[in-house]
Amino acid sequence: MIDKLLPGVVRTAEAYGDVPDERPFPGEADLIAHAVEGRRREFITARRCARQALGLLGFPPVAIRPGPRREPLWPAGAVGSLTHCAGYRAAAVARSADLSSVGIDAEPHGPLPDGVLESVVAPGDLETLRRATEGDPALHWDRLLFSAKESVYKAWFPLTGRWLGFDDARLDLDPAAGTFTAHLLVPGDRLDGAPPLTALSGSFLVDRGLVLTAVVIAPPAP
């Protein structure tokens, strides 16, 4: 399902459940040695999806360790993103020659818990949500905004190495097109010296009781 939001250079794998008693991949067991069972299962399944997606690009199966912000560290020559929520796990990967970064997120299609929205909006976001809700009151736009900003962060961090708060990006939505644009409110200087990031664009989909969002960043022009 997540592949509908991504260009053809991206390979994906997804799962709607876990394999009972599946063992962690060699080199990853210590990462979940003290995790509760639910966390173990989502970790193992999402990592398995990642290796399946990487395999579609010709990469051999490897342990996917976390970086300083718990971001997945991909093999040289690959970029990607993982997501998991109740009933869904997915991975999306691409060759670094084709894309600079990928970010995906999945959330249950329901309202955000009380008090969460106030902590994730930037100036202008509430007006964006109001307009979207007037157009389609059945869709939980607050959850979509949250998911979109998660995807934005996942695409942002590998290129900048810096935290991006929910209130550091203002979102514009195009409900008819199923797209969004995140306007960054902080400097977007990149580690690779490419032009700074100022806005990130993505797509969204609501299906099977899930909100899915995705962001890709093209390589800098030669």
Provide the residue count of the chain: 222
The domain made up of 2-104 is a member of CATH 3.40.50.300: no
CA 161 from centre of chain: 16
Residue-wise pLDDT tens digits, 1-59: 999 999 999 999 999 999 989 999 999 999 999 999 999 999 999 999 999 999 999 99
Residue-wise pLDDT tens digits, 166-178: 999 999 999 999 9
Rg (Cα) of the chain, in Å, rounded? 17
Provide, rounded to the nearest whole percent, the portion of the chain with pLDDT above 70.
100
Name 82's Cβ contacts closer than 8 Å, sequence gap at least 6. Answer: 46, 47, 49, 50, 72, 89, 90, 91, 104
Give the 3-state secondary structure of 71-86: CECCCCCEEEEEEEEC
* Statement: residue 69 has pLDDT above 90: no
Beta bridge partners of residue 90, listed in sequence order: 14, 83
The residues spanned by each domain of the chain are 2-104, 112-202
